[in-house]
Amino acid sequence: DANVGLVLLGGVNRHFEWSDDEVFQQLEQVTRANPELDWTICDSRRTPSSMYSLLNNLSEGVFTRWQDSASDFLEKRLSAATQVWVTADSVSMLYEALSAGASVGVIELPLKQPKRSNKLARGLLQLRESGQIHLSHEGPRMTVKAEPPTTESRRCADIV
* Model pLDDT for residues 84-128, shown as the tens digit of each residue: 999 999 999 999 999 999 999 999 999 888 777 678 888 898 999
Domains and CATH numbers, the chain: 4-159 (3.40.50.2000)
Q: What is the per-residue pLDDT for 153?
A: 52
From residue 78, alpha-carbon distances to 13, 87, 102, 127 in Å are 23, 15, 8, 19
Strands (E), the chain: 4-8, 38-42, 62-64, 83-87, 103-107, 133-135
Q: Is 63 helix (H, G, I), strand (E, B) or coil?
A: strand
Please tell me the distance from the alpha carbon of residue 65 to that of residue 55, in angstroms, as a whole number.
Answer: 10
Please tell me the distance from the alpha carbon of residue 94 to that of residue 92, in angstroms, as a whole number.
Answer: 5
